[in-house]
Chains A and B, each alone.
Chain A
Amino acid sequence: GAVVSQHPSWVICKSGTSVKIECRSLDFQATTMFWYRQFPKQSLMLMATSNEGSKATYEQGVEKDKFLINHASLTLSTLTVTSAHPEDSSFYICSAIGLWQGDGYTFGSGTRLTVV
């Protein structure tokens, strides 16, 4: 079945630094990738949608200059949290879908970001 690999699984960084999270579709070409954020005991909230080769579409309230998304190939999308602050600490999850999309969406294993 479809596999989405997300790295790193966890990261701790200092306030003010940037962190890059990678999301790869291993056995299919991902025409669209979604980035979600999840706070404890909350639902997954969509941050942005990215299509290969075009600019990401951000949800209302998500700062595009702070959360940089690059979807340069059909198998890789990256999310960079720039100038991270403690309030950016959260669980970030990517999801990828392809043209021949089956019933369910495939998600990465998530990245726990802690900003100290």
Chain B
Amino acid sequence: SQKIEQNSEALNIQEGKTATLTCNYTNYSPAYLQWYRQDPGRGPVFLLLIRENEKEKRKERLKVTFDTTLKQSLFHITASQPADSATYLCALLNGGSQGNLIFGKGTKLSVKP
């Protein structure tokens, strides 16, 4: 069955450093992969989408890479700030363009000042 894994449950880093989060998937060939941010007691908020024909995507301090051979996506936050502390979820689309999302468990990022 399709599986999406975020290996680290938690990641603690110092302010100003780059945070790197990993997402792996199996039994799936997604056309694209999405990353979301979730704060405690809130719904996920969309951050970035990367397509299978894109190696890298950037948005301000965020960068996402997508390696379809390794079946892996890396999510980077450069110059991290305490306000970046949250849980980050990767998600794949199940089915067609109007299908539901399958989520990983998420990685809880804590940025210490």
Q: Which residues of A contact B (CB under 8 A)?
A: 4, 6, 9, 31-32, 34, 41-44, 46, 49, 91, 93-95, 97, 101, 103-110, 112
Contact = CB atoms under 8 A, between A and B. Distances in A.
Contact of A44 (B42, B45, B49, B103): B103
Contacts of B105: 41-43
Contacts of A94: 43
5 contacts: A43-B89, A43-B104, A95-B100, A105-B34, A107-B44
Interface of B: 9, 34, 36, 41-47, 49, 89, 97-98, 100-106
A110 B40 CA distance: 10
Given A31-B98, A44-B103, A104 B36 contact: yes
B42 to A, nearest CB: 6
Given A32-B98, A42-B105, A101-B98, A110 B46 contact: no
B103 A110 contact: no
Contact of A107 (B45, B97, B104): B45
A51 B96 CA distance: 14
Nearest to B90: A43
A107 B91 CA distance: 13
A101 B97 contact: yes
Given A93-B43, A106-B46, A109-B42, 11 more contacts: A6-B43, A32-B98, A41-B105, A43-B104, A91-B41, A93-B44, A95-B101, A101-B97, A104-B34, A105-B46, A105-B101
Contacts of B41: 9, 91, 110, 112
A106 B97 CA distance: 14
Given A42-B105, A104-B34, A104-B36, A49 B43 contact: no
Given A41-B9, A44-B103, A104 B89 contact: no
Contacts of A97: 98
